[in-house]
Amino acid sequence: MRHLEQHLRSHFTKYREILILLGSRQSGKTTLVTRVFPNARYLLADNEPVRKFLETYDDNTYRTMLGHDQDVVIIDEIHQISDPGRAAKILYDSLHVKLVLTGSSSFHIKNRTIESLAGRKIDYFLFPLTFSEYLYQQQLEKKLFYWPQSFLAVSGKVPNPRLYDFQAQLNNVLLYGLYPAMLNHPMDVKYLKNFVESLIFKDIVDFGLIENRKAGIDLLKLLAYQIGRLINYAELAEKLQIDQRTVKRYIEIFEQSFIVFRLYPFLGNKRDEIVKSPKIYFYDTGIRNSIIEDFSSIEFRSDAGSLFENFVISEFIKFNHYANAGFSINFWRTKSGSEVDIVLSNRDTIVGIEIKGTKGKISQAFSNRFPDAEKRVLTRENFFISPE
């Protein structure tokens, strides 16, 4: 069970548009769409005969092969064909099927579909497991829920005791991440390293998205050592001996391939006092640890706080997308160094959240600047609150 499942099930009751499910390799896209649409005609574009069939770009060929009684057609890994947007447009416009597309490399698929599918598609994003999905699939929790939503709904509440070692499960996630395959390969460093190589090399390097292979890999390693820090593009460019525009372009490729994301500052009204550089985080801490080849125990790590911060922020991003929560997610930092790790905002609300291992308090400077904002301190002990 995944949080996104119900959204996909109801898609064609609300929309005629193509359902596009994007996400990184092995995030669970195929499993999800085949479970949601068990009677669909399934086509894997990575299969050579299927790829050749799709690359005819001929509506009569499509109609002959698919017949007239297909209600839902799934094309898995559509980024594997030369012009996915063209194929999808013909199927949508001429055959009038309910079309479900999945793609691993969002950079690749978006650039080839955006023009031809304008007004014909709705995108969904599947991230690695949420912590709730992870615990549910291990049968440690009885139901799925959005813990960020519960955390925001209450103040000062401590979660009820659990019948399993919650902190051990959290430590495991901080080290090995939340990709579904890790449920079947727990704490398997060799498997994870091989997966990371496949994720980076097959979906990015082999597609030719990064022309300087060494610089791209070295950049990803530098970013992995800098999670939670402000990005200094000039410094990265100097270390890698490439120009800043290339650094920014490579980071954008890593972002659109669901490896890293940039968190931007909350500027408020007094923009002159706020830093304007983004911070860097990884969608999955296991991927990050594999890149730097460090799986040492959390209690002995100098980066334990950064790992927990990265985990929490990625969980808020998943919640914001899956629950359609409508928040802008930022951080706040003044040039003098006052900082708040997460600022959630919409038209009506500002919530400042400081992430700490055990205890702490919100920045007084933030409280002074935004006296009406809600302020929360999130720790390893208080964050995973179940709904009543």
Q: Which domain holds residue 291?
A: 131-378
209 against 297, higher pLDDT: 297
Q: What is the pLDDT of residues 19-59, one digit of tens each?
A: 999 998 889 999 999 999 999 999 999 899 999 999 999 99
Burial of 52 (0-12, 13-18, 19+ CB in 10 A): exposed
The number of domains in the chain is: 2
Percent with pLDDT over 70 in the chain = 94
Query: What is the C-alpha to C-alpha distance for residues 38 and 247, in angstroms, rounded to an integer?
Result: 43
What is the torsional sign of CA 57, 206, 290, 340?
negative
pLDDT at 159: 76
pLDDT for 318 beyond 90? yes
Phi, psi of 273 (to 5 degrees): -100, 0
* Pair (210, 274) in one structural domain: yes
Phi, psi of 267 (to 5 degrees): -90, -30
309 against 108, higher pLDDT: 309
251 sits in the region (left: phi over 0; alpha: psi -120 to 50; else beta) called alpha
Collapsing DSSP states into helix, strand and coil, what is residue 343?
strand
In a domain, 50, yes or no: yes
* Pair (211, 338) in one structural domain: yes
* Pair (174, 298) in one structural domain: yes
Question: What integer is the mean pLDDT of 118-143?
Answer: 94
Do the bridges between strand 41-44 and strand 72-76 make them parallel or antiparallel, or are there none, so unpaired?
parallel
pLDDT at 213: 84
CB 190 within 8 A of CB 239: no
In a domain, 337, yes or no: yes
* Pair (203, 346) in one structural domain: yes
Question: What integer is the mean pLDDT of 240-259?
Answer: 93
Which CATH number is 62's domain given?
Answer: 3.40.50.300
pLDDT at 337: 85
* Pair (165, 309) in one structural domain: yes
pLDDT for 266 beyond 70? yes
In a domain, 383, yes or no: no
pLDDT at 41: 93
**Confidence label for 385 from pLDDT (cuts 50, 70 and 90):** confident
pLDDT at 106: 67
In a domain, 190, yes or no: yes
- Torsion angle of the four alpha carbons 172, 174, 178, 182, in this order, in degrees rounded to the nearest 10: -40
Q: Which of 87, 107, 125 is the last residue of a domain?
A: 125
pLDDT at 219: 96
Q: Which of 98, 125, 152 is the last residue of a domain?
A: 125
**DSSP 8-state assignment for residue 209:** S
* Pair (17, 119) in one structural domain: yes
Tokens of 331: 């951080």
Tokens of 296: 């040492």
* Pair (142, 119) in one structural domain: no
pLDDT at 220: 94
pLDDT for 317 beyond 80? yes
pLDDT for 12 beyond 90? yes
* Pair (63, 154) in one structural domain: no
Lowest mean pLDDT among 82-91, 251-260, 265-274: 265-274
95 against 155, higher pLDDT: 95
**Confidence label for 336 from pLDDT (cuts 50, 70 and 90):** confident
What are 269-272's contacts with CB under 8 Å, separation 24+? 270/369
Tokens of 110: 């978006």
Nearest CA to 101 among 48, 40, 178? 40
In a domain, 248, yes or no: yes
* Pair (57, 185) in one structural domain: no
In a domain, 388, yes or no: no
* Pair (161, 281) in one structural domain: yes
pLDDT at 211: 83
Per the prediction, the chain carries an average pLDDT of 90
In a domain, 387, yes or no: no
* Pair (216, 322) in one structural domain: yes
**Confidence label for 206 from pLDDT (cuts 50, 70 and 90):** low
In a domain, 385, yes or no: no
What are the Cα distances from residue 89, in Å, to 12, 84, 139, 142, 237? Answer: 17, 9, 42, 42, 40
pLDDT at 272: 59
CB 121 within 8 A of CB 113: yes
Query: What is the C-alpha to C-alpha distance for residues 195 and 201, in angstroms, rounded to an integer?
Result: 10
CB 42 within 8 A of CB 34: yes
pLDDT at 67: 74
Q: What is the pLDDT of residues 157-202, one digit of tens each?
A: 777 788 899 999 999 999 999 999 999 898 999 999 998 888 777 6
Q: Which of 125, 154, 182 is the last residue of a domain?
A: 125
Question: What integer is the mean pLDDT of 8-14?
Answer: 96
Q: How far apart are the first and last CA of the chain?
A: 21
* Pair (164, 309) in one structural domain: yes
Percent with pLDDT over 90 in the chain = 69
pLDDT at 330: 96
Lowest mean pLDDT among 10-14, 128-132, 202-206: 202-206
Question: What integer is the mean pLDDT of 308-319?
Answer: 98
